[in-house]
């Protein structure tokens, strides 16, 4: 949608142009009007304008001066000048001001419509698809490292994924790994930071560690580095591929885990020698599928926690998995943190899928420690959400929140599962109710304001300001809630009020027009007749005669609405 500002000190002309462009549905315009330069600047100070259609000859500040001022505010705004004088000096001045067109008022509507259409085409061309994509590409390139890290962390946390979605994400985020091939994990840790570090140095040293590793990996592997926290980091690596005929083949490596362990030993020595950093590393015993990343990551973490002899400069291979199934359950428990994300994003389906998966995996009789961990982590997630949303008291009136952290009060694991499921259901339901209430309240406030101010400024910009929303978003929200546009609603309300005033009062038609915000009597007449097929005076006479049982007067002999 393009914003058009019409400026003319003759209200009849200004209102006529507004009516003209309101009927041009194909131009997709949000239209504003002003009857002098000061009023126009009041609008452009508050709202970006795309096109200004302005008269040149106006008191105090003329159209050329106005255009120059608007151009300082909005350099990309297109200006079209209207004038009743075919004066070459005006044309020269308007061109110097940056006008895209110059239209004589005597030429009629078609040249004016053509000039505005031309301005729209220029704007569309300037912001064409290719230019926007190029700009977005540059912005994406700058954000890629952060986006890539976030995505890989989601995979490590167990976010469900498929080969197809991984392929698309790897392509978009320029991940230099194959989404359908297994991957080897190497976990690293800075055991002790140097004492001479300044603010920001840790990120620089992480970058340096990665550069050292890349020197050794690059010959045989594709690798991606992920910083997990200020001390810990991770590499995901895959053997490089070579082309044989039309097929891609993995380059054979002798005993992959042993070979990688040798490279990591060299990386560890280089970090100590060149960076003066003591680092420990754990290398996965074998590559794993992408879906198994959370499980492998958990094994690497357990190996770090248990250690082997030394507390620093460890170089270990992943320990074998536990056979009693505890580790698989532990991995699912780690994914609980995703529940908070799903709750915030109102993703009900993903929330309950993960919730049921985690809760079903717990067997309290065998894993009482994990059961307690799950309950306390769930309690923390829900308590944090309720505090942030300011609805703690509201939820306390629905469910007993004292049971959040006390399994003893809930009795069995099935009761724990049911309790937190019920709390989640209440939260998701309240989110929807809250959204509906806020939207309904916005519509109510706007309707109340419009009804009390039919003679005031009821522009989209003014009403959007009233409810603290952007004009375009407010317009969409209003239509989605009511099924009609705010412009149509205002027009209908003004028509109904006009009918009431015409029948129940003796006010002159011109005065009624002013009461409804129409300061140009002819424009009010055209507006009313377009909606009712009768002029205001014809409507007043016809309905009153009908109510009194008297024949309606012959409109051809009735005094016209221009006789105010």
Per-residue model confidence (pLDDT) at position 367: 56
Alpha helices, DSSP H, located in 516-563: 521-532, 536-548
- Tokens of residue 85, six digits: 């004088």
CA gap 479, 217 in Å, rounded: 57
CA dihedral sign of residues 453, 459, 465, 467: positive
pTM: predicted TM-score of the whole model, two decimal places: 0.47
- Tokens of residue 431, six digits: 């989110």
Q: How many CA atoms lie less than 13 Å away from 99 in the CB half-sphere?
A: 25
Per-residue model confidence (pLDDT) at position 559: 45
For 14-27, give one letter per residue: b (16+ CB within 10 A) or e: bbbbbeebeeeeeb
Per-residue model confidence (pLDDT) at position 125: 79
pLDDT in tens, the chain (564 residues): 789 999 998 888 888 898 888 888 788 888 999 999 999 998 998 888 999 999 888 888 988 889 889 988 898 889 998 877 665 555 555 555 555 677 887 788 888 999 899 888 888 877 766 566 666 666 766 778 888 888 998 888 877 788 889 999 999 888 999 999 999 999 999 988 888 888 778 888 989 999 999 999 998 899 999 998 888 999 999 998 743 444 444 545 557 888 898 999 999 999 999 999 999 999 998 899 998 888 888 888 877 776 655 578 888 888 655 444 555 666 667 778 788 888 887 888 888 988 888 888 886 554 567 788 888 888 888 888 888 877 787 777 777 777 777 656 566 788 888 888 888 888 888 776 666 777 888 899 999 999 999 988 888 888 888 888 878 778 888 888 899 999 899 999 999 999 999 999 999 999 998 899 888 888 889 889 989 999 999 999 888 888 776 655 555 444 444 444
- Topology given in CATH for the domain delimited by 2-127: Rossmann fold (3.40.50)
CA gap 36, 41 in Å, rounded: 9
Q: Which CATH class is domain 143-321?
A: alpha beta
CA gap 79, 102 in Å, rounded: 9
CA distances for 11 relative to 175, 413, 515, angstroms = 61, 75, 16
CATH architecture of 453-548: Orthogonal Bundle (1.10)
- Return the bridge partners of 236, or none: 185, 224
């Amino acid at each position: 949608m393009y914003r058009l500002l019409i400026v003319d000190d003759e209200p009849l002309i200004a209102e006529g142009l507004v009516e003209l462009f309101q009927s041009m549905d194909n131009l997709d315009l949000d239209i504003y009007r002003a009857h002098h330069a000061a009023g126009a600047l009041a609008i452009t100070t508050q709202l970006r304008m795309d096109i200004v259609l302005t008269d040149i000859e106006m008191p105090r500040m003329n159209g050329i001066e106005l255009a120059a001022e608007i151009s300082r505010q909005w350099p990309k705004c297109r200006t079209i000048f209207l004038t009743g004088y075919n004066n070459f000096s005006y044309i020269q001045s308007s061109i110097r001001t940056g006008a895209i067109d110059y239209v004589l008022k005597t030429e009629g509507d078609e040249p004016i419509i053509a000039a505005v259409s031309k301005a729209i085409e220029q704007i569309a061309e300037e912001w064409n698809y290719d230019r926007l994509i190029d700009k977005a590409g540059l912005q994406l390139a700058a954000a890629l490292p952060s986006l890539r890290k976030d995505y890989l962390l989601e995979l490590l946390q167990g976010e469900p994924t498929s080969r197809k979605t991984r392929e698309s994400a790897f392509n978009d985020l320029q991940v230099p790994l194959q989404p359908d091939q297994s991957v080897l994990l190497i976990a690293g840790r800075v055991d002790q930071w140097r004492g001479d570090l300044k603010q920001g140095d840790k990120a620089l040293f992480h970058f340096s560690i990665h550069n050292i590793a890349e020197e050794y990996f690059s010959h045989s592997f594709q690798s991606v580095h992920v910083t997990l926290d200020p001390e810990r980091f991770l590499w995901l690596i895959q053997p490089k591929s070579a082309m044989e005929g039309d097929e891609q083949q993995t380059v054979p490596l002798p005993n992959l885990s042993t070979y990688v362990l040798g490279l990591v030993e060299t990386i560890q020595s280089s970090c100590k020698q060149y960076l003066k950093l003591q680092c420990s590393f754990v290398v996965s015993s074998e590559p794993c599928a992408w879906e198994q990343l959370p499980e492998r990551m958990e094994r690497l973490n357990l190996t770090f926690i248990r250690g082997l002899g030394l507390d620093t400069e460890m170089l270990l291979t992943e320990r074998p998995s536990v056979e009693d199934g505890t580790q698989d359950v532990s991995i699912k428990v780690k994914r609980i943190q995703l529940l908070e994300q799903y709750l915030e994003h109102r993703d009900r389906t993903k929330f309950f899928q993960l919730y049921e998966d985690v809760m079903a995996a717990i067997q309290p009789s065998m894993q009482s420690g994990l059961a307690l961990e799950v309950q306390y982590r769930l309690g923390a997630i829900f308590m944090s959400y309720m505090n942030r949303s300011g609805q703690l008291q509201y939820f306390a009136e629905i469910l007993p929140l004292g049971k959040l952290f006390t399994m003893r009060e809930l009795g069995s694991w099935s009761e724990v599962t049911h309790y937190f499921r019920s709390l989640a259901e209440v939260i998701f339901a309240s989110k929807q109710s809250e959204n509906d209430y806020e939207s309904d309240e916005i519509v109510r406030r706007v309707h109340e304001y419009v009804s009390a101010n039919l003679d005031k400024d009821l522009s989209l910009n003014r009403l959007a300001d009233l409810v603290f929303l952007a004009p375009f978003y407010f317009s969409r929200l209003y239509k989605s809630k009511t099924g009609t546009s705010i412009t149509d609603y205002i027009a209908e309300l003004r028509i109904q009020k006009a009918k009431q005033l015409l029948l129940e009062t003796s006010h002159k038609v011109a005065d009624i027009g002013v009461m409804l915000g129409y300061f140009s009597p002819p424009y009010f007449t055209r507006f009313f007749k377009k909606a009712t097929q009768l002029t205001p005076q014809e409507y007043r006479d016809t309905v009153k005669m009908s109510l009194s049982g008297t024949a309606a007067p012959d409109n051809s002999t009735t005094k016209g609405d221009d006789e105010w």
